Amino acid sequence: MSDAVDRLGTEEVARRLGVKRETVYAYVSRGLLERHPTSGPHDSRFDPEEVERLAARARRPDRSSALEVVIETELTLLDPAGRLSYRGRDATLLARFRSFEEVVALLWDGAPPTPWRLDDERAAAVEAVGAAVGPGAPDAERIAAVVATLAARDPARDDRDPESVRRAGAAVFAALAPARGRPSARSVERGRPKVRPADQRTTAEEAGFAERLWAALADDGARPRPDQVAALNAALILLADHELAASTFAARVAASAWAGPYRVILAGLGPLGGALHGGAGPAIESLIDEVAAGADPGAALDARLAAGPVPGFGHRVYRDRDPRADHLLARLTPDRGGRSSAIGLRRSTALAGGLQTTTALGAAAALLDAAARREVPAPNVDFALAALVRAHGLRRGASATIFTVARIAGIVAHALEEYEHRLRFRPRASYVGPVPPAAP
């Protein structure tokens, strides 16, 4: 315990924590901070070591030891002020007015072969590997197995010309969301839609990628509403690339060694799904479910704050708000007709009005409200994606799957750009281990 002369007053505690005086007293009332016994009725005193421990838990992870790698790219501009653009096009506008397929063509600087559909042989191989890994396999492992299977069946697996790379990327998307006819609500029987054989369908009847992926992620087999397809399409677009994130950097390293496109995708999949990159969604889904089941949102947040930064809030690049989160959360605000409204969330409390916390959407709103009152950083895209998944009843864990599938678009785009170079990533290590004995 620190000496009395070192104890901090309320103003100094507020300064060190970066909060208001009122928030300091809120921390005291919630048991996150303790007033020292020597405090008087009008003179609160705090132990500086306890204040520092709370500050360390609440602050975002710093980047003091991060390795900064800078490369030139024409793909994605990530503005810390809160904007994201692909090849000079605002990503939120693309999410509002374009399809995922169109944005993939933009990122890949050329449209891949259409429709995204596998031939019968490779479709059968993918189905077989799905049966082999079993229904309980995590989607991250299932996706990697599918990519490896496609590579094994592709004679052009090592070709690096742009058309071959685009063709490989399109094959991966086709395998992850198989092309099906558009089933009607009447055709659903025992949770599985009946569809016509492939030879009886036309290209015009093919569902778009977002609708096909929805069918793969939904448990009930029902055809999604247009607003649900639009929301998933927007999520795919907004997650398609995010500059030099861990997954795209890993993919760049593989591409710089001239690995084939499937191997580049596998390299990029490695970091995806980790708790710090793409894998936070399931934990946020559980938090939303907990509040939807009746838990107090503030208490649920406090429990997680006590252990460190809460997944789903704050971002390491955006200084204030994550534009992807704002866009997706806005789509979750229903209008009077039950459709998604484009007007919804612009600040983290806007979603809360008039909603019941017994629903997934209401639970997400209540959590945003509780986070705002605690001055937790603004929600990021992981929170928005988890809220979308739970509000629309997609299967648990689907948020991480959507993130991974979407990011394959960016991984392929980075491969196309990096293939123009030759093994330019060769960092050196600074050895700090024991010194070897001198040579005799």
Chain segment 185-218, per-residue pLDDT in tens? 222 233 333 333 333 333 434 689 999 999 999 9
Q: In CATH, what number does 4-58 get?
A: 1.10.1660.10
For 76, the enclosing helix (H) or strand (E) is strand 76-79
User: What's the pLDDT score for residue 107?
Assistant: 97
Dihedrals φ, ψ of 43, to 5°?
A: -150, 85
Contact yes or no for 100/240 (Cβ under 8 A): yes
User: What's the pLDDT score for residue 58?
Assistant: 57
Query: Mapping DSSP to helix (H, G, I), strand (E, B) and coil, where does residue 43 land?
Result: strand
Beta bridge partners of 283: none
What confidence category does residue 440 fall into, taking pLDDT thresholds of 50, 70 and 90?
confident
Q: Can you tell me which residue has the tokens 């300064």?
A: 15
CATH 1.10.1660.10 segments of the chain: 4-58
CATH 1.10.580.10 segments of the chain: 71-423
Task: Tell me: pLDDT of 352 over 70.
Answer: no
User: What's the pLDDT score for residue 276?
Assistant: 83
Question: Based on C-alpha coordinates, what's the Rg of the chain?
Answer: 25
- Give the Cα separation of 141 and 134 in Å (integer): 11
Nearest to 243 by CA among 277, 279, 208: 277
CA 210 vs. chain centroid, Å, equals: 16
Task: Tell me: pLDDT of 180 over 90.
Answer: no
* Helix and strand numbers, DSSP H then E, in the chain: 18, 7
Q: What is the pTM of this model?
A: 0.78
User: What's the pLDDT score for residue 40?
Assistant: 72
Taken in order 56, 58, 64, 65, is the CA torsion positive or negative? positive
- Give the Cα separation of 404 and 143 in Å (integer): 9
- Give the Cα separation of 89 and 94 in Å (integer): 7
Angle between helices 100-107 and 209-217 (to 10 degrees): 110
- Give the Cα separation of 129 and 176 in Å (integer): 12
| Helix locations, 18-136, DSSP H | 21-29, 48-58, 91-97, 100-107, 120-133
Dihedrals φ, ψ of 407, to 5°?
A: -70, -20
Dihedrals φ, ψ of 408, to 5°?
A: -60, -30
Angle between helices 10-17 and 48-58 (to 10 degrees): 30
Neighbours of 372 (CB within 10 A): 16
What confidence category does residue 329 fall into, taking pLDDT thresholds of 50, 70 and 90?
very high
In a 13 Å sphere around the CA of 254, the CA atoms on its Cβ side amount to: 25
Task: Name, in order, each residue with C-beta under 8 angstroms of 42's C-beta and a sequence gap of 6 or more.
Answer: none
Mean pLDDT (whole number) for 335-364: 51
Q: Any idea what DSSP says for residue 66?
A: P
For 135-157, the pLDDT digits (tens) are: 888 899 999 999 999 999 999 99
Nearest to 312 by CA among 402, 407, 214, 399: 399
CA 151, 213, 89 angle in degrees (round to 5)? 90
Query: Mapping DSSP to helix (H, G, I), strand (E, B) and coil, where does residue 119 land?
Result: coil
Contact yes or no for 263/172 (Cβ under 8 A): no
Q: Can you tell me which residue has the tokens 């030891």?
A: 65
Task: Tell me: pLDDT of 360 over 80.
Answer: yes
The domain 71-423 having CATH identifier 1.10.580.10: the answer here is: yes
